[in-house]
Amino acid sequence: MTERSRGVLYVVATPIGNLEDLSPRAQRTLAEVELIAAEDTRHTAVLLNHFRIRTPMAALHDYNEMQRTPTLVTKLLAGDSLALVSDAGTPLISDPGFNLVRAARAAGIRVIPIPGACALIAALSVSGLPTDRFVFEGFLPPKTAARCLRLGQLQSETRTLVFYEAVHRLTESLSDMLQVFGGERRAVIARELTKLHESVHQDTLAALLAWADSDSHAQKGEVVVLIAGLAAKNTAMETDKILTVLLEELPVKQAAALAAKLTGGKRNAIYQRALEICKLPNI
Ligand code: SAM
């Protein structure tokens, strides 16, 4: 079968609040495909009605994606083009669609993105935190113990951290973040982006927690939480502290190897730093 006779799977981003964010290309694609695979067909029906799009829909959500994927791939192979949408923003970004995209690509189907809104990118772009390197962590685990464990693994991360969070867990999560990263770490809460009550607050974690605790608006709507990465200066200080302790007990090579494991830093650079520390008068 030639690629021409197969259909195309379009991965279409939809608005995260403001309907004007659905691009003309996305509108045309949704109107022209044979079928739209939607996370929640009732939710997407509101969007389609607004744009007078009458394309049939099939539900594709976390609970039926595995089972429904083969049928959709068969349709694509038979020549039908499909659009994949989620309730809001870019499909697959903390949303369903991964199995379908993977299976379509494995079957030699062309998969074309129709880019648009994505809450994490929108939040990052207005956060005022460094955007050159960042880590998207999606949703944190809902239970405190697992959440703290995950946050602990990110303690020395120097890139900007981006999280999605359910608003009813916002204060719990902020309080765990404060425990792990310290109250002085800068953070941002981006709320209700592109909607009427949009707000972006940047402050220390301690101040943001106090604000979220006291302001009833803070606990409504949808939020993205961003945390500044550990400053390079702090990382160097942390490494020095760890090395100093280890050098009291271990030879330089072993101390450097262990410090590299603990901090995630480069072994060679840490070894050189260990040699420098050894030359300091109090070691
Ligand atoms: N696929 C979507 C995207 O591209 O952003 C994300 C879907 S995820 C299930 C939903 C989460 O995204 C929310 O809990 C919230 O953290 C974030 N989110 C979605 N819309 C938002 C908005 N308008 N303002 C702030 N955060 C939003």
Over residues 84-111, the pLDDT tens digits come to: 999 999 999 999 999 999 999 999 999 9
Helix (H) or strand (E) holding 186: strand 186-191
- Residue 16 in contact with ligand 1 by CB distance below 6 A: yes
- Fold of the domain built from segment(s) 120-227: 3.30.950
When pLDDT is cut at 50, 70 and 90, the band that residue 226 belongs to is very high
- Residue 222 in contact with ligand 1 by CB distance below 6 A: yes
* Cβ 15 vs Cβ 117: under 8 Å: yes
Ligand 1: which residue has its CA nearest to atom 25?
Answer: 223
Ligand 1 atom nearest 192 alpha carbon: 24
When pLDDT is cut at 50, 70 and 90, the band that residue 235 belongs to is confident
Taking the centre of ligand 1 as the mean of its atom positions, its distance from the CA of residue 120, in whole angstroms, is 7
CATH 3.40.1010.10 corresponds to the domain 3-117: yes
Lowest-pLDDT range, 2-16, 89-103, 174-188, 232-246?
232-246
Taking the centre of ligand 1 as the mean of its atom positions, its distance from the CA of residue 152, in whole angstroms, is 24
- Residue 137 in contact with ligand 1 by CB distance below 6 A: no
Ligand 1: which residue has its CA nearest to atom 20?
Answer: 16
pLDDT of residue 234: 66
Side-chain half-sphere CA neighbours of 57 within 13 A: 21
In this prediction, residues 21-26 reach a mean pLDDT of: 98
pLDDT in tens, 32-46: 999 999 999 999 999
Q: Which residues, at least 6 apart from 13, have a Cβ–Cβ distance to it below 8 Å?
A: 26, 89, 90, 91, 113, 114, 115, 116, 117, 118
What's the angle, vertex CA 183, arms to CA 180 and CA 187, rounded to 5? 90
The SS3 assignment for 257 reads helix
In this prediction, residues 138-148 reach a mean pLDDT of: 97
